[in-house]
Structure 1
Amino acid sequence: MSMYMTILLIISMGILLFSLGYTLSIARAQRAVKGTQDTAIPDKVKDHAYIRNPVFLTYLICFALLALIITFAALTIRW
C-alpha cells in the first residue's frame, strides 16, 4: 500500500470514528429528552432546512468530489 493510500485511510478512519462518537452522543441526548411531544425546531434550522441537512450535504460533497475526479481523469488521460 502506498503512503498516499495509508494517509487517506488514516484520515477516513478518523472521520468515521468522530462521526460514530458524535452520533452516539446525539442518541444519548435524545434519550434524555422526556415527554411525548417533539421539541421545537430552532429558527436557524427552519431558515436553512436544506443546507443544514446532513443527508443533502453528503450527496452534495459526493457529487462535487465525483465531478472533480471525472474532470481530473478527463484532463490527464490521453486516448
Structure 2
Amino acid sequence: MSILIGLIKFFEHYSLFNQQRETIGNWAMLGFLGLPLFFISAYKNTADDPQKRKSVVITGGGLFIIALMVGGISVLAYLF
C-alpha cells in the first residue's frame, strides 16, 4: 500500500504516467481494504485456540499502529 502511494507521489512529481496514476491509487485502496478483511478472517478461524487468537490480535494491532505511523510520516513528508 505505502509503496504504491509512494509511486503515485513520484509519478506526480515527475509528471509520469498521468493516465495510470488513478489506477495505481485504486490498487492502494484495495490493499487498504483487504488488510482488515484478512485479519477478521484470521480472528474468526482461531476461535478454538486462544493462544493463536491472542497472537492475531497483537499482530493486527501492531500492523495497525505501523500503518498509522507510516501514514502520518507520509503526510508530514508531503506537507514539508
TM-score of the aligned structures, taking structure 1 as reference length: 0.52
Moved more, 29-38 or 14-23: 29-38
Identity of aligned residues (%): 18
Q: Deviation digits for residues 16-58 of structure 1, max 9, x if unmatched? A: 112222221111111222267862557xxxxxx7xx6211111
**Does residue 39 of the first structure (1) align with residue 54 of the second (2)?**
yes
SS at match of 2:20: helix
- Structure 1 segment 3-22 matched on structure 2, within 5 A: 4=18, 6-22=19-35
Runs of 4+ in 1 over 3 A off after TM superposition: 35-38
AA aligned opposite 1:15 = A
Partner of 1:59: 72
> How many equivalent pairs are there?
56
Gaps of 5+ in 2: 1-16
Flag structure 1 segments of 5+ consecutive residues without an equivalent.
43-48, 68-79
Alignment partner of 1:24 out of 20, 30, 37 = 37
TM-score norm. by structure 2 comes to: 0.51
Higher fraction of helix: 2
**Over the residues paired in the alignment, what is the CA RMSD in angstroms?**
2.8
Work out which of the two has the higher radius of gyration on C-alpha atoms and give 1 or 2.
1
